[in-house]
Structure 1
C-alpha cells in the first residue's frame, strides 16, 4: 500500500488521434485561415512567437525530463487561451492535443512562465509613443464621443457570458455565438497614469 498511489487498478482513458499534429502541419502550411481559427494567430505570428520563446530555460530538456517540442507546447497554450467555457477545459484541450490533462497544465504553465519573463515582456510589449497616443486621441474625437478624446486605449468586443437570459429585453443580449452576454468596452484615460 505504501509503494503505490492507488489500491485499485485504474482504467486508462482511451485517446483518439491528436488534432494538434494536423494543425501544425497541414493547416499551418496549407490553410492559414483554419490555423488561425484554432490558435487565434497567423502562422507567421506563431513562428515568431516560437522563435522568441524557444531559448527560454523553462523549455530546456534534460535526460530525466524530456519535453515536447516548443511549437507543440505553444500551440496547446494558444488553443487553450483562445477558447472559453467547456472548450477551454483541461480535458477538452487534452482530447484536442492527444495528451494527458497533467501535460496540458504543465505545458500551459511553462509557456506562461516564458511569456511573463521581464526580458520577453520588454521585447514584446510596447507602450505607444506620445505621437501614437495623440493620433489615437484625434481618431477618437473624430469617430466617437468627443468627451472620450483623452482616452487613447480601447478594448472592444469582449463578450462577458451570462448564465441565463436577462428578464428585461433578454433578446437584446443574444450574441452572434448564440449565447446571452454583455459586450464590454474599457476606456483608459491618460490622466490615470503618471507619464
Structure 2
C-alpha cells in the first residue's frame, strides 16, 4: 500500500467556499453594530473610511488589465482583519475563509495595502511630530482639563504588545514578554483629542 501511494492522483478538487463574512462586516455591522465592526477590523467605521479615502488613490490599486481590481475598501478590510488577529486566526486559510477569497488573493491584498501605507508621502502625513502651535494648544488643554502642574505634558503615551507568529532567530529571548508570548512592544504618543490634527486617522 505504501509503495504505491505516491502514484495516486493528488488532486482533491476545488475547495468549496462558504459565504463571505467580509461583506456582512462592511454593510450590516459597519452601519448597525460599530462594536462588532471594531472587533473584526480593530478600527472604528470613521477611521476605516478615512484610511480608505487616503489610500484609494495610490497607484498600487490601479492597473492596465481588462479585469479591474476589487474596491479598495475590500482590500483594506482584508488586510486589517489579518493584522488584527494572530495564531491560527491569522493564517492565510482562516482569513481566506472569512473573506470568501483565495489564499493568494489575501496575500496580494495585504501586499498592496502595505505598499500604499509605506509610501513616504503617507508616512510623513500620518506619522509626524506635532507643530509648535499644536504643542501649545495641547498644553492649554492639559492646563484646563487636568492638573495645572502638568501643563508641559503635551502628549499621552500608551503601549501595546504585538504578538509574533514565532520566536525571532536573532535575540529571540529578548522578545519574550510577560504574557509568555514573543512580541513587539509598541509605544504610541498622542496629543489631546481637543487639538487633534484634522489629518489624523483616529475616529472619535
Q: TM-score range by the shorter chain?
A: 0.5 to 0.7
- Measured on the aligned residues, the alpha-carbon RMSD in Å equals 3.5
Structure 2 residue aligned with 1:126? 128
Structure 1 residue aligned with 2:39? 37
Q: Is the 8 A contact 1:77 1:107 kept in 2?
A: yes
The 1:162–1:76 alpha-carbon spacing in structure 2 relative to 1, beyond 3 Å, is: closer
The 1:117–1:182 alpha-carbon spacing in structure 2 relative to 1, beyond 3 Å, is: closer
Q: Is the 8 A contact 2:21 2:99 kept in 1?
A: yes
- TM-score w.r.t. length of structure 2: 0.64
Give the Cα separation in 2 of the matches to 1:104 and 1:70. Answer: 13
Q: Which of 65, 87, 90 is the equivalent residue of 1:88?
A: 90
| Superposition deviation, residue 66 in structure 1 | 2.4
Higher relative contact order (CA 8 A, sep 6+): 2
Aligned residues: 158
Structure 2 residue aligned with 1:57? 59
| Superposition deviation, residue 74 in structure 1 | 0.3
Matched position secondary structure for 2:43: coil
Q: Is the 8 A contact 2:162 2:186 kept in 1?
A: no
Structure 2 residue aligned with 1:117? 119
Matched position secondary structure for 1:17: coil
Q: Is the 8 A contact 1:86 1:92 kept in 2?
A: yes
User: Structure 2: which 5+ residue stretches go unaligned?
Assistant: 1-8, 148-154, 167-177, 190-204
The 1:11–1:44 alpha-carbon spacing in structure 2 relative to 1, beyond 3 Å, is: same
User: Structure 1: which 5+ residue stretches go unaligned?
Assistant: 1-6, 144-151, 164-172, 175-179, 189-195
Matched position secondary structure for 1:157: strand
Structure 2 residue aligned with 1:192? none
